Amino acid sequence: MTGQEPPKNPHGDDGQQPPDTGMGMTAVSYLIAGMLVWGGIGWLVDHWVGTRGIFAGIGAVVGMAGGVYLIVRRLGA
């Protein structure tokens, strides 16, 4: 198989398109990352302000929205 030439044009176009294999992982990691980052920041704000979790909740929702937006922009195009 080494003697065989590697496929020159595996995707039938300019060969720069990322294949689908990594995309599922990327999407999941964006969703989780969004929730954790902004949820965590909200949790810190909660501690600082003295509220009991309202900012963590808001942060998680906002982060999730950001994650969805990122998936659309990065993977949907």
18 binds another protein (CB under 8 A): yes
Cα 7 to Cα 4, 41, 53, 76, 77: the distances in Å are 9, 47, 54, 27, 26
User: x/- contact string, 49-68, with another protein (CB under 8 A)?
Assistant: -------------xx--xx-
Cα 66 to Cα 13, 44, 58: the distances in Å are 31, 19, 12
Of the candidates 76, 57, 73, 70, the one whose C-alpha atom is nearest the C-alpha of residue 31 is 70
For the segment 20-39, give every residue that binds another protein (CB under 8 A): 21-22, 25-26, 29-30, 32-34, 36-38
Q: Which residues bind another protein (CB under 8 A)?
A: 1-4, 6-8, 10-11, 15-16, 18-19, 21-22, 25-26, 29-30, 32-34, 36-38, 41, 62-63, 66-67, 69-70, 73-74, 77
